[in-house]
Every structure is written in structure tokens, then in C-alpha cells.
Structure 1
Amino acid sequence: MFSGSIPALATPFAGTEVDEDAYRKFIEWQIENGSSGLVPCGTTGESATLDNDEHHKVIAICAEVANGRVPVIAGAGSNDTQTALWHIKEAQLAGADALLLVAPYYNRPSQEGLLAHFSYLAERAELPIVLYNVPGRTVTDIKPETVVELHRRFPEKIVALKDASGDLSRVVTQRMGAPELCQLSGDDPLVLAGYALGQVGCISVTANVAPRLCADFHAAAAEGDFETARTLNEKLYPLHAAMFADASPAPAKYALSKLFDWFSPDVRLPIAPCSDAAKAKVDEAMAGAGIG
């Protein structure tokens, strides 16, 4: 169901408001440039600072503009199970194709708590679920055995994993325990190695800025053309680093503001605007990748 280059979409702001016109243009540009799916309201979309009405509106706009051309995987997770269920219901009403459910943050649940949380949501969701493990942000870590058990319990519902743990050995462990599970990277710099181990794509930050390059890279890797994939990976690699030269998504939004006069670099507190030092790294990386 999911593969290739899937941007975790940045949410454009105009001052303090979501810029709906810019968001629509951005989605069209992503589809035109080969993105194979879209994630509204992920980490890069600043979901943590969207209010609930904005969260649901951003998903609805994405689903409307995509109009079935590529799957929309709506960020619907929360550290509160009932709030996550509310987001799930709103995403379903909005026309999303799947759900991205991050590990509950702050609460620090046990693995039993994670099993109970995701099982509760899977039993009530109508859409397929992509688990999202990013322990660097959530502290909570969905262990491979928990991923495998969730897929075993709900093979038709919990169908994929976005793994941003940075531990590529997990790809093998999870593939051996759940061979039908779709495994996606959450770390752009590790994607090439991930393909060799069994991942089939990436929910990406860099694809916000370089969708065509990322799409071409993924196509080459999926076809086993690793010579081309390595060349493109090395072209993209400095850009991967530059996207985190400052707190994300400030560098990505700065890069997009360089590409388009209709995409503002505005971010929401506590994220600060991209620093001058980070801007210099983004400028250099974009030039090296032939972007802008």
C-alpha cells in the first residue's frame, strides 16, 4: 500500500494562521513531482502546535486536493488514547486513506501499555494504521516484539511501521517476525541501507524540499539500481543534514520560502525561525543538490 518517497508535509503559516492557499499549491507540487504519498499533521507539519480544529482542517484539505491520486496518511496520534480516537474519527470523515499513529509521548507507557493503546485504537479504526516509532522525540520506544505482536493481532489493520529509531537491525527482526508488515524509514540518511534490509520507502523531511530527487532515488533503490541510488543519495545527503541544522521544520520552511514566494518560513513557538548559521547550511546543500 505504501512505498517510495512520502513527505511528512510542512504546514505553511501566514502569520498565526494556516495558509490554506499555500498548502493546496504545495500538495499539487508534491504530487506533480513524484511523491507517492502524503502525510499531513506529522512532526514536520508542526502537529504539536496545531489546535484541534486546525489539525482536522489540514487533513481535510490534503485529502481533498490529493483526491485519490496518492494515499493520504493522516497524523492522528496522541499521548491520550481518547484524543487519538477522536483524531482517527475526524481523519476518516475527512477522507484520509490511512492513519499515522505515533507512540504516546510524555506518559512513558510500558510495552503492555503500548499494546493496549494501539489495540484499542485498531479495534475502533476503519482505516489501515501506520505505527510511528520515534523514541528521540517521544521517549517511549515501540520495541520490535511489540510491533510484531500488534501486526499479529491486527494483520489487516496494523499494516505498516514508520521507524525513526535509528536502529537498522530492527528492520531484520521485524521482517523475520512479521514478513507482511510494510516497513518505512523515518530517517532520510538511512534509507539506502534500509532498502537492502527490507524497507520499502521513507516518510521524509527532505522530500518537502526535493520531491523529484527523492522520488527518483527511491525508484532506483526499489528497482535494485544501487549505482544510481548511491549517486542520488550522495547528492541528497547534505540536504538531509541541513534539514536538521536547526529545530525542524524551520530549515525545511526556510528552504521552501527560497523556492516559492507563496511559502512563508513562519514557524510556531516554541520552534524559532531558522538561524543564520542553519540558513547557510541549507543554502549550500540546496546549491549542491541543484535545487532553487
Structure 2
Amino acid sequence: MSSAQALSGAFAPVITPFHADGSIDVPRFLAHCQWLIQQGAGLAPFGTNSEANSLSFAERSALLGQMVEAGLPPSRMLPGTGACSAPEAAALSRQAIELGCAGVLMLPPFFYKGISDEGLYAFYADVIARIGDARLRLYLYHIPALSGVPITHAVIERLLRDFPGIVVGIKDSSGDWNNIETMLQRFPTLAVFPASESFLSRSRPLGGRGCISATVNINPGPISRLVESWHTDEGQVLQAQVDAVRKIAQAYPMIAALKEVMAQGLQDPDWRRLRAPLDLLPADKAASLLKDLQAAGFQLR
């Protein structure tokens, strides 16, 4: 795997298109990945906005292999390998290592709630031991609103101490700037990726590596440029532009909103499909979303 020091940029938790029978639409998925790469973004498949927890282990494993076979660069891939069971998380992570992915993004075990710091540490330590490969680059995934399992600073500190060069980063989806800022200051070796591009102009000066954001799926070029030019006059303009798009999109159920934008922008209604239990945007909400984006000057491509 590539070094943690080299991993930066805007990464998309790649949305997953489906056929009418509910199976993954691999050609559409790969075409979307190719476009994201061409726009300067990285790929974080099997994230929250990928509907990852509605995909089976076999589906994730097969699709990861197909991404590499299609010529997508593993050095720009950060697949989600989290699972409630340590054996499953370890197995998908081992595959990512063998394929040369830049790292893996790993949720905490999210079924049991109220688990202790000791229990959470033991889970990650167990997964690392099962993988048993020094090439592992593990990025923690802090999303307490959905997982119900916060990754505390005490757990981060212990993992960094006990697994140097293995535990190397974190995606923070808390939306809490104070937490992001504290991690950047307290853990200077940790690659911190906020889950929103709206934090870029604040996080980058403190050493933030970029973002892993849902809206990179639809706005990859401007967000990728902002990661690099945050400190310039262009960066100020870009920050305002991407903030406007983000504010509109996050006012709706995010996955359905992203797929609606894809369907409309590509004139491809098949992009609207979601797996249960998620629902399509109602027609009035879809129209409002698209109207607001148009008013903000947004174009998909």
C-alpha cells in the first residue's frame, strides 16, 4: 500500500447504481468511478453513501476486484471494510491489501451500543491481528450518529501507540468542528479527513488531508481543486461555491438526492434506484432539489 503521508485529496464514498432486479449495475458504477478519477477525486467505495450496509460481503469483494480489473488506480482507493464481525472486516481488508489499495476505511462494530473504550480497542486490535500484514493502512470511521459507537480520543491515542504505521487516519463524520480541530492538534501524525468539504479552509491549514464527502460524487472537480488551492484567491471562491452545493444537497436524504442529481444530469433515470429500506425522493422534493441547485449555478458535468 502507499504511505499514509501520500494520501490526501477529495474522496467520494462512491454511490452504487442498481439494476431493476436489485443487483449492482457494475458498468454504471465503473463509469462513475472513471469520471471521478478524471476529475481529480479519489474513490472510497462501500462508504455510507454507497449503501454499503445494504451490500453483502460477496458483492463488496467482487466489486472491489472489478474496480482494479477495470484499470482504476488502487493508489486512489480507500474502500470501506467495516463490519460487525472481526473476521469479515479482516477478510475484506486483506483483499484490499492484496489489490494494492491505499488503505481501508473501517467502521466500528455498530450493532451493540454502549460498548466501552476497552471493547472498541479490542475489536480493532483483533481485526489487525487477523489481517496480520504490515502493509495494512487503517483509517478509522467516526460516524456516531449512525453507528452509535463513537471513536473516542482515548481509543485513537491507544491505537496510534500500539499500532504505529498501521492505524494512520480517520474520517470524521460527526460534523463537530471542535472534534476535528482537537484531533488535528492532538494527533499530528493522524491523517484527518472531515466528511464535509465545508471544513476544508479550516482543516487544511492545521494539516487536514482533504475530505471524504458524499457530495464529491456530484461535484468532484471543484472540491478536488479546493483541497489544493484553499489558501489562494481561487480557493476562497471555490469554498463558497462548494458550500452552496453542499448546503442544498444535505437538506435532503443524501443518497436519494445524489442519485436524483445523477439521473437528471445524465438523463439516465436508472440512476435513481436504491435498495430497501431507502426510498426515492418524492417528486416535489426532487423538483425542489434540482431547482435550488440550478439557482446556485450547479451543473453535474
Maintained 8 Å contact 2:181/2:203: no
Q: Counterparts in 2 of 1:161-172, with a 5 A limit? A: 161-172=170-181
Match of 1:267 in 2: 274
5+ unaligned residues in a row in structure 1: which ranges?
A: none
Tell me the TM-score normalized by structure 1.
0.91
In structure 1, distance between residues paired with 2:257 and 2:26: 21
Tell me the residue number matched to 2:234.
228
Q: Which of 102, 119, 123 is equivalent to 1:113?
A: 119
Q: Specify the SS of the correspondent of 1:74.
A: coil
Residue 239 of structure 1 pairs with residue 248 of structure 2: no
User: Do the aligned residues in 1 keep the contact of 2:15 with 2:50 (CA within 8 Å)?
Assistant: yes
Native 8 Å contact 1:201 1:218 kept in 2 = yes
Aligned counterpart for 2:91 among listed residues 86, 92, 108: 86
- Alpha carbons of 1:34 and 1:285: their partners in 2 closer, same or farther (altered >3 Å)? farther
Q: CA deviation at 1:273?
A: 0.6
Alignment partners' CA distance in 1, 2:290 and 2:251: 11
Runs of 4+ in structure 1 off by over 4 angstroms are: none
Q: CA RMSD in A?
A: 2.0
Question: Which residue, out of 75, 81, 88, partners 1:76?
Answer: 81
Correspondence 1:11-22 to 2 at 5 A: 11-15=16-20, 16-22=22-28
Measure how far apart 1:64 and its partner are. 3.0
Q: 2:226 aligns with which of 217, 233, 254?
A: 217
Shift of the alpha carbon at 1:111? 1.0
Q: How many correspondences in the alignment?
A: 288
Structure 2 residue ranges without an equivalent (≥5): 1-5
1:94 offset after TM fit, Å? 4.6
- Cα distance in 2 for partners of 1:280, 1:197 equals 39
Q: Deviations over 1:74-105 (max 9, x none)?
A: 11001222221222233334553311101221
Distance 1:138 1:45 in 2: 15
SS of the equivalent of 1:142 reads coil
- Decide which of 118, 125, 137 is 1:128's aligned counterpart: 137
Question: SS at the partner of 2:49?
Answer: coil
Deviations 1:140-170 (A, max 9, x none): 1001222122112112111111011122222
What SS does the corresponding residue of 2:212 show, helix, strand or coil?
A: strand
- Identity level (%): 23
Alignment of 1:19-30 (within 5 A): 19-30=25-36
Q: What's the CA shift for 1:72?
A: 0.9
Contact 2:7 2:102 in 1 (8 A): no
Task: Report the Cα offset of residue 289 of structure 1.
Answer: 3.6
1:181–1:31 distance in 2 versus 1, CA, 3 Å: same
Q: Which residue of 1 aligns with 2:3?
A: none
Aligned partners of 1:158 and 1:200: how far apart in 2?
Answer: 15
SS in 2 for 1:131: strand
Measured in 2, the distance between the counterparts of 1:269 and 1:188 equals: 28
Q: Residue 3 of structure 1 corresponds to which residue in structure 2?
A: 8
Per-residue deviation, 1:138 = 0.6
Separation (CA, whole Å) in 2 of partners of 1:145 and 1:277: 46
Structure 1 residue 103 and structure 2 residue 108: aligned? yes
Q: Provide the C-alpha distance between the structure 2 equivalents of 1:38 and 1:66, rounded to a whole number of angstroms.
A: 13
Task: Tell me the distance in 1 between the aligned counterparts of 2:289 and 2:68.
Answer: 30
Which residue is 1:184 aligned to?
193
What is the distance in 2 between the residues matched to 1:211 and 1:176? 28
Note the C-alpha offset of 1:59: 1.7
Which whole-Å CA distance do the structure 1 matches of 2:279 and 2:125 have between them?
A: 37
SS in structure 1 at match of 2:272: coil
Can you list the C-alpha shifts for 1:28-53, whole angstroms capped at 9, x where unaligned?
Answer: 11111111x21111111101111222
Distance 2:292 2:9 in 1: 22
For the residues of structure 2 that align with 1:79 and 1:161, how far apart are their CA atoms?
Answer: 18
- C-alpha displacement at 1:285, in angstroms? 4.1
Q: Which amino acid aligns with 1:5?
A: A
User: What residue is the counterpart of 2:163 in the other structure?
Assistant: 154
Supply the AA of the counterpart residue of 2:87.
Q
Q: Which amino acid aligns with 2:124?
A: F
Counterpart amino acid of residue 59 in structure 1 = L
Q: Deviations over 1:229-261 (max 9, x none)?
A: 232122122321333333231100111112224
Q: Distance in 2 between matches of 1:123 and 1:76?
A: 15
Give per-residue Cα distances to partners, 1:204-242, cap 9 Å, x unaligned. Answer: 111100111111221212xx22x3223212212232133
